[in-house]
Amino acid sequence: MKAEANIEQISRRLRPSLVAYFLRRVRSHAEAEDLTQDVLLRLTQLDLAELRTADAYVFRIAANLLADRARRNFIRSRFASDQAATEGFGVDGLSPYRVATGRRSLATLAKRLEDLPEKTRTIFILHRIENINKRALADALGVTTKTIENHVGRAMAYLMLFREDGE
Amino acid sequence: MSTNPSPVEYTAAEAAGVWCMRLSEGPLHGEDQAAFDRWLDADERHRAAFEEAVTTWREFDGAESEPEFLSLRLEALQTLRRSTRLPRMRLSPRWAAAAAVVVIAIGGAGVWLGSLPTIYETGVGERHVVMLKDGSKVSLDADTRVEVKYSDNRRALRLDRGRAKFDVAKDPLRPFSVAAADKTVVATGTEFSVELLRQDVHVILYEGHVAVLGPMSIAHVAQPLHLASNGAVPADQLLTPGHELVAPQATAAATVALTDPARTLAWEGGQQVFVDEPLASAVERIDRYSDRKVSIGDPAAGRILITGVFMDGDTRAFIEGVTAVFPVRAESQNGQTVLTSAPREN
């Protein structure tokens, strides 16, 4: 895989994982969102062209931010050590390692996509693989952004269905 | 954004998918952020659904370079192209970014780029299979660069370095040609590989027939290569399936010999198989797979014929194997391993 020179691409790929990662450890979505933005901001300071894959760095930064936050919280209130911040570190459900092992093959996913109605499949591929955002897609296809969301939501639900079967 | 996925309209999984999509496009603000929190808290199953959605999202990482996705992507991009009315297209910065993505993606599938060649490149240790617009398939070995330029009446490719195998879709009206150094291989519907190795061009034919042409003459006509042993016989006449043609640069002569198709295709399966291979060309091939470079210290070492099977990227095993069996010594110099000839110890 070529190095991703574009922070935009990395963000598209990893933002939802990062939000989920932080949501497991902090109380509010607002805080998870702030931490996610912080990670992506730090990523812009790295020379991305030198990274073969950004994933490991992204989750390393995320873990460090959590550790910093836990330290600050500890100083603020001695007794409330934030277990959540450090537990499961390194074997987190969304660490690159877990994703690599629990992952279905891309060939399997391609087959699943073929089951979908053409329009749903097309919109999902353009959004997820070609990285075209929903506003641009809606403009190009002459539909509302709501329609784009409906199709992506349906495609995602269908693909998740097969995950549960332990395929 | 005024509309939010609500439990009434969406199943938990669909809503999770939509939230995942929204989060991928950037931070949620204001009402959206509050709505996301409400949705997460509304039902304990929502959190699990969200985790599932995020995992599913990540499963598509790297899909853009998978051969399985090429036809799906091509289809989706063609649909996009058909439904986009160019004259009325708004050129907002957002759209321009999307358009740039589309052009790159289309380039990735080898389509419609008019006069601009599309370049496919692999780094050290990488391999890549590209499906071209006409159904032809190009399989790139490590450290290889291929330029593809399609027009209405020709399919012109150039191998700049490395090795690639070509499965050519039949299209007699559009000849398929691969240029390498000053040689050109022309095919109509066939399977062959071209490799640049130590300034020589190697062509192996697996199926069908190809013509191999030398440099352009003064009259701008490329002449078929002739046999080194007999100047009157065109070399490609002997190049039948299962044979390999080797043409040094800057001459119009070539040699043709029988080869083992399974052995020569081992690189596609991640192995290097050498049978009586000069050490110099074995080293050049091994170097395609690792940043730990090996070089040849003296010409005598380069001429030693070696035999062995090695896994790609396992340079250490290659060095150990070669030095154990053949009269070669390995030394580290400036982060490189240099192989020099050594008298056999008795």
The whole domain housing A132 covers 96-165
Place of tokens 């996009």: B80
Model confidence at A54, in pLDDT bands (50, 70, 90)? Answer: low
Q: Which helix (H) or strand (E) holds A22?
A: helix A7-23
Contacts of B307 (CB under 8 A, 6+ apart): B274, B275, B276, B277
Judging contacts by C-beta atoms under 8 Å, the chain B residues touching residue A110 are 63, 66, 68-69, 72
Model confidence at B238, in pLDDT bands (50, 70, 90)? Answer: confident
The verdict on a CB contact (< 8 Å) between A107 and B68 is: yes
Residue A85 in tokens: 């911040």
Q: What is the pLDDT of residue B54?
A: 92
A155 and A105 share a domain?
Answer: yes
Identify whether the C-beta of residue A112 lies closer than 8 Å to the C-beta of residue A124.
no
Q: How far apart are CA B238 and CA B241, in angstroms?
A: 9
Instruction: Report the DSSP beta bridge partners of residue B18.
Output: none
Tell me if chain B has a CB within 8 Å of the CB of A143. no
Packing angle of the helix pair A134-141, B93-108 (nearest 10 deg): 80
Q: Is B82 exposed, middle or buried (0-12, 13-18, 19+ CB in 10 A)?
A: exposed
Least confident of A10-14, B42-46, B48-52, B270-274: B270-274
CA distance B168 to chain A (A): 23
Q: What is the pLDDT of residue A49?
A: 56
Q: Give the best-scoring range by mean pLDDT among A132-136, B18-22, B314-318.
A: B18-22
Judging contacts by C-beta atoms under 8 Å, the chain B residues touching residue A103 are 58-59
CATH of the domain at A151: 1.10.10.10
Q: Where are the beta strands (DSSP E) in B78-174?
A: 118-121, 128-131, 137-140, 145-150, 155-161, 163-167
Mean pLDDT of B109-113: 37
Instruction: State which amino acid sits at residue B215.
Output: P
Model confidence at B1, in pLDDT bands (50, 70, 90)? Answer: very low
pLDDT digits (tens, 9 = 90+) for B281-313: 899 888 888 888 899 999 889 888 887 777 777
Q: What is the pLDDT of residue A88?
A: 39
- Regarding beta strands B183-187 and B176-180, do their DSSP bridges make them parallel or antiparallel, or are they unpaired? antiparallel
Q: How far apart are CA B169 and CA A101, in angstroms?
A: 37
Q: What is the pLDDT of residue B276?
A: 78
Between B169 and B21, the more confident residue is B21
- Probe site for chain A from B59, B106, B140 (most A CB atoms < 10 A): B59
Residue B111 in tokens: 């389509």
Question: Last residue of a domain, which of A87, A113, A130?
Answer: A87
A10 and A75 share a domain?
Answer: yes
Q: How far apart are CA A81 and CA A120, in angstroms?
A: 46
Between A124 and B125, the more confident residue is A124
Q: Which helix (H) or strand (E) holds B246?
A: strand B243-248
A159 and A109 share a domain?
Answer: yes
Identify whether the C-beta of residue B257 lies closer than 8 Å to the C-beta of residue B243.
yes
Model confidence at A154, in pLDDT bands (50, 70, 90)? Answer: very high
Residue B125 in tokens: 């240790």
The verdict on a CB contact (< 8 Å) between A159 and B11 is: no
Number of helices (H) and strands (E) in chain A: give both, helices first.
9, 0
Model confidence at A102, in pLDDT bands (50, 70, 90)? Answer: low
Question: Last residue of a domain, which of A66, A87, A108?
Answer: A87
Q: What is the pLDDT of residue B194?
A: 92
Q: In chain A, which residue ranges form alpha helices assigned H by DSSP?
A: 7-23, 29-44, 55-76, 83-86, 96-101, 106-115, 118-128, 134-141, 145-164
A137 and A157 share a domain?
Answer: yes
A40 and A106 share a domain?
Answer: no
Q: Which helix (H) or strand (E) holds A16?
A: helix A7-23
Model confidence at B175, in pLDDT bands (50, 70, 90)? Answer: confident
A128 and A155 share a domain?
Answer: yes
Measured between CA atoms, the residue of chain A closest to residue B3 is A146
A113 and A148 share a domain?
Answer: yes
In chain B, the percentage of residues whose pLDDT exceeds 70 is: 84
A81 and A136 share a domain?
Answer: no
Instruction: Report the DSSP beta bridge partners of residue B278.
Output: B305
The verdict on a CB contact (< 8 Å) between A20 and B51 is: yes
CATH of the domain at A48: 1.10.1740
Identify whether the C-beta of residue B30 lies closer than 8 Å to the C-beta of residue B64.
no
Q: SS3 for B237?
A: helix
In chain B, the percentage of residues whose pLDDT exceeds 90 is: 16
Q: How many CB pairs under 8 A join A and B?
A: 190
Q: Phi/psi at B149 (nearest 5 deg)?
A: -135, 110
Q: What is the pLDDT of residue A72?
A: 74
Residue B320 in tokens: 């150990």
Model confidence at A149, in pLDDT bands (50, 70, 90)? Answer: very high
B18, B72, B84 ranked by CB distance to A125: nearest: B72
B50, B69, B77 ranked by CB distance to A20: nearest: B50
Mean pLDDT of B75-94: 55
Q: SS3 for B337?
A: strand
Average pLDDT, chain B: 79
Q: What distance lies between CA B141 and its chain's CA centroid?
A: 6
Tell me if chain B has a CB within 8 Å of the CB of A153. yes
Q: What distance lies between CA B306 and its chain's CA centroid?
A: 27
Q: What is the pLDDT of residue B221?
A: 64
Stretch 107-136 of chain A: residues touching chain B, C-beta under 8 Å: 107, 109-110, 113-114, 118, 121-122, 125-136
Domain count, chain A: 2
- Probe site for chain A from B31, B60, B144, B291 (most A CB atoms < 10 A): B60
Model confidence at A94, in pLDDT bands (50, 70, 90)? Answer: very low
Q: How far apart are CA B99 and CA A126, in angstroms?
A: 12
A81 and A104 share a domain?
Answer: no
Instruction: State which amino acid sits at residue B294.
Output: V
Judging contacts by C-beta atoms under 8 Å, the chain B residues touching residue A139 are 90, 95
A102 and A75 share a domain?
Answer: no
Say if pTM beats, i.e. exceeds, 0.80: no
Please tell me chain A's helix, strand, coil percentages from 3-state DSSP, rounded to the nearest 5: 70, 0, 30
The verdict on a CB contact (< 8 Å) between B76 and A109 is: no
Mean pLDDT of A80-93: 41
Residue A1 in tokens: 């895989």
The verdict on a CB contact (< 8 Å) between B54 and A20 is: yes
A63 and A20 share a domain?
Answer: yes
A109 and A57 share a domain?
Answer: no
Stretch 32-71 of chain A: residues touching chain B, C-beta under 8 Å: 33, 36-37
Question: Last residue of a domain, which of A52, A70, A87?
Answer: A87
Average pLDDT, chain A: 75
Position B166 pLDDT exceeds 80? yes
